[in-house]
Each structure stands twice: as structure tokens, then as C-alpha cells.
């Protein structure tokens, strides 16, 4: 086979999508699997808001089917501006906001607008796709191995080791894959490091920017507070590009409306890049979202009810894992904080099955859980962590409440067969 570009030859596809597709194929073939892999929603369990659905249909009937502006329809950018001020007390005008077809094109264009070949990019692992975006831009990977003791978030002292000469820092909170959040203290100290580093650079030197992905911020537990860099340190406004959208907070992964906001000179370059890619959110969905975002009572009601459903699933699965841990099985879980994810630990490497097969690797453990317990979850090595990591992401977006006790019982049955 003829060779292609160096990028094409070296690029690794999404491990999560690959795993999710394999699970979906088995389900289509009639197998019962408790699928907690994909960070998506089952629309029959978690539909988008009824009002948003009606608004989208109305816009299609109004023939809103032509090209949208490269930066997004002005009604939506103004609505996002209103929403940011109403909910987060952040002040951004329509020229500082870029709309795209979900968060991925926003993240990609942030990287393309900021990162040159060889530039240092700081990110923690596990984290969603940062390793692939650094590869796509030929950046220099500056990895921080994050630990459960710190909610799998990078510490300021870890960031400080790499910050000299760095171009981009990537933070996501609440985080995919862990469902955990960064503390106010840690975020504030990281912001101070960025401000100090930029103050040390010359007028014509490239600055250090922070990509702050808060796609899941509305999905936080009642006892958890979401913090952002600009509120904590106003000086960070000139160095921070936010990532947001409706994909997760409104169960609207397939509606494809996301946005970024930040310094106008960065946003304008992102607009130019996106104008060549054409990764725009559809016109009808943009106009409908614009109307929905300014309907604060409707948005509050939907998110409140949605969070209750998420919380029920996360808390009951967490309690089940801790009950199994207390029975002596080598598993654990991090207390749920936010998003649609639960971080669980299943440390079975070295165990032997009834058939005499030894689980030599974490991949063997993952396969055993799937085949014996019919439990499908995503190992953290799919998010850049070590292949030896015993931690997993468990996503509840497609789960039914009534399946939770059955899944936990099947898991216990599978664990009891190991020696």
C-alpha cells in the first residue's frame, strides 16, 4: 500500500470510538451488554429539551437551511453573551465568541491558532484527546501524570516544572474522563503561574495561553462549585480561551452546537481557520439554540431535572462499587462530583480465572469484564494514561436505572470467580 502523509501514517484513531463501535456491534448481534463506554446519551432515556426540539423544527420550517456566518449567527453569539453573564457573571461580546459544530472544532482551532511545531503543550493525563491534538499540531507533549489523591487534576507544582517557554496549557473541569473538578486553590495558583510567566516574556514574544474546557460545568453536584480562571484572576482574560456548548448540558451531542470565547485577536484567527474547514453548526440549530439560551427559566428547569437523573445513577453505582470494595474485592471508586462520569478502579492483573487463564494485562481485565460480567467501560489508557493503570471511566449517559443492580450483581459474580 502506498504511503500517505507522515501525519496520516502516525495518527492513532480514537480508542474510545473504536471500543464503543465494537460494543455496539455486539449489541446489534443480540448480546446483552451493560454499555458504560461512550460519553453520549440514549435519546429515549435522556432526550434534548422539548422546547429546543420544537424550536429546531420551527427553524427548519422557516427555511433556515443556508450557510451560517463563519463565526456563527449574531443572534446566537449575543445569546451566548447573555448566558455567560447570567450564569457565570462573565462579560464577553459577540466579537469574542466563536460558534462551531460542537467542542471538537473549537479545540482543534485553538491548537491550530496557537501551537507551532515543537511548541510545549502542558496537559494532565488522563484527559480527553489532548494527546491527539498535540500530535495533530506537532507540538511537544508535556505530560503530567495525575493521581486520584488530587482528583486526577494537575497540581500547580506539576505545571511549574514545564511552564518555562510553554505555549499552551490544557485544563478541563469538570473533567472528561474522571468526572472530577479542580479546586479553587489549585486553579488560582496555576493562573498565577501563567500570569507570572507571561509578565516575564518580552513584548514580541509568544504568550502562554490557557485552554479552559468547561463543557460539563452545568452538570455539577449540589455540593460542588465550578470555578473559572477569569473570575478568580481577571488578568487571565487576555490569556484564556474557553470551550463550551450544549452537547452535554442539554443531552444534545448530535445537535452540534458548541462555542469558544476569549481574546478577540485569538477568536478572529480561529474564525479564519474554521472558515476553511467549514465546521459550522447548522443554521437552524444555531437559531433555535439562540432562542433557548435566553429562556433562563426553561434552561434552569431542564438542567435541574437532568442533574437529578445523573446524580441518581452516579450515586447508586458508586455505592455499589464501594459495597463490593468493603467485601474485599480489589475495586474502588472516586466520589461523584460532576459530569456524566464515574471514576472506578478494577485492579485484577495477576488474577486467575476458573479456566486457569491469568489476567496478565489491563487489557485482559477489560476483556474479562466484558465477557464475564457483560460490563463495558473505558480504561484510562484510552485517555493517555499508562497501559498499566487500573482506573476506568464509567459513563452513565445511556444507562437505565433498573439495570444498575443487575449490572452490579453480574460484576460481583465475575469477581467471585477469580483467584
3-state secondary structure of 36: coil
Q: Do the domains at 6-46+300-416 and 50-294 have one common CATH topology?
A: no
**Cα within 13 Å of Cα(138), Cβ side:** 6
Query: What's the rounded Cα separation, in Å, for the pair 168 and 132?
Result: 14
| Residue 380 main-chain phi, psi, to 5 deg | -65, -20
Query: What's the rounded Cα separation, in Å, for the pair 381 and 395?
Result: 16
Query: What's the rounded Cα separation, in Å, for the pair 11 and 149?
Result: 32
Spelled out in words, what is the top-level CATH class assigned to the domain 6-46+300-416?
A: alpha beta
Please tell me the pTM assigned to this model: 0.94
pLDDT at 9: 84
Task: Please give the chain's pLDDT, 419 residues, in tens.
Answer: 678 888 888 887 767 777 777 787 888 888 889 999 988 999 999 999 999 999 999 999 999 999 999 999 999 999 999 999 999 999 999 999 999 999 999 999 999 999 999 999 999 999 999 999 999 999 999 999 999 999 999 999 999 999 999 999 999 999 999 999 999 999 999 999 999 999 999 988 999 999 999 999 999 998 899 999 999 999 999 999 999 999 999 999 999 999 999 999 999 999 999 999 999 999 999 999 999 999 999 999 999 999 999 999 999 999 999 999 999 999 999 999 999 999 999 999 999 988 888 999 999 999 999 999 999 999 999 898 988 999 999 999 999 999 999 999 999 999 999 98
Query: What's the rounded Cα separation, in Å, for the pair 128 and 134?
Result: 12
The residues spanned by each domain of the chain are 6-46+300-416, 50-294
Fold annotation for 50-294: 3.40.640
- Which residue in 145, 120, 129, 108 sits closest to 12, CA to CA? 129
Amino acid at each position: 500500500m502506498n504511503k500517505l502523509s507522515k501525519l496520516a501514517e502516525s495518527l492513532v484513531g480514537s480508542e474510545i470510538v473504536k471500543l464503543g463501535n465494537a460494543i455496539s456491534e455486539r449489541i446489534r448481534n443480540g448480546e446483552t451488554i451493560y454499555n458504560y463506554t461512550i460519553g453520549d446519551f440514549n435519546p429515549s432515556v435522556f432526550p434534548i429539551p422539548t422546547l429546543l426540539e420544537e424550536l429546531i423544527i420551527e427553524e427548519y420550517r422557516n427555511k433556515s437551511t443556508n450557510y451560517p456566518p463563519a463565526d456563527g449567527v449574531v443572534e446566537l453569539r449575543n445569546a451566548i453573551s447573555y448566558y455567560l453573564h447570567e450564569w457565570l457573571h462573565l462579560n464577553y461580546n459577540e466579537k469574542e465568541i466563536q460558534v462551531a459544530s460542537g467542542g471538537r472544532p473549537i479545540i482543534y482551532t485553538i491548537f491550530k491558532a496557537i501551537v507551532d511545531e515543537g511548541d510545549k503543550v502542558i496537559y494532565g493525563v488522563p484527559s480527553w484527546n489532548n494527546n491527539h491534538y498535540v500530535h495533530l499540531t506537532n507540538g511537544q507533549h508535556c505530560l503530567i501524570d495525575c493521581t486520584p489523591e488530587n482528583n486526577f487534576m494537575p497540581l500547580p507544582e506539576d505545571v511549574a516544572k514545564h511552564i518555562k517557554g510553554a505555549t499552551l496549557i490544557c485544563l478541563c473541569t469538570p473533567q472528561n474522563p474522571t468526572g472530577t473538578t479542580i479546586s479553587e486553590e489549585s486553579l488560582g495558583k496555576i493562573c498565577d503561574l501563567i500570569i507570572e510567566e507571561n509578565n516575564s516574556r518580552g513584548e514580541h514574544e509568544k504568550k502562554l495561553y490557557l485552554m479552559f474546557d468547561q463543557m460539563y460545568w452545568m452538570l455539577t453536584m449540589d455540593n460542588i462549585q465550578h470555578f473559572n480562571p477569569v473570575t478568580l484572576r481577571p488578568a487571565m482574560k487576555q490569556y484564556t480561551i474557553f470551550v463550551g456548548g450544549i452537547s452535554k448540558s442539554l443531552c444534545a451531542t448530535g445537535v452540534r452546537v458548541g462555542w469558544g470565547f476569549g481574546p478577540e485577536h485569538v477568536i478572529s484567527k480561529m474564525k479564519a481557520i474554521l472558515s476553511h474547514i467549514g465546521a459550522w453548526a447548522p443554521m437552524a440549530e444555531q437559531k433555535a439554540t439562540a432562542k433557548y439560551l435566553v429562556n433562563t427559566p426553561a434552561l434552569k428547569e431542564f438542567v435541574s431535572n437532568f442533574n437529578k437523573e445523573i446524580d441518581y445513577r452516579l450515586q447508586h453505582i458508586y455505592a455499589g462499587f464501594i459495597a463490593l470494595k468493603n467485601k474485599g474485592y480489589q475495586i474502588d471508586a472516586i466520589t461523584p462530583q460532576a459530569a456524566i462520569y464515574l471514576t472506578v478502579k478494577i485492579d485484577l492483573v495477576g488474577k486467575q480465572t476458573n479456566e486457569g487463564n491469568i489476567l496478565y494485562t489491563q487489557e485482559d481485565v477489560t476483556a474479562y469484564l466484558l465477557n464475564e460480567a457483560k460490563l463495558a467501560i473505558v480504561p484510562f489508557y484510552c485517555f493517555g494514561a499508562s497501559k498499566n493503570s487500573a482506573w476506568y471511566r464509567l459513563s452513565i449517559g445511556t444507562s437505565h436505572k433498573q439495570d444498575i443492580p443487575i449490572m452490579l450483581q453480574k460484576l460481583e459474580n465475575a469477581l467471585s470467580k477469580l483467584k
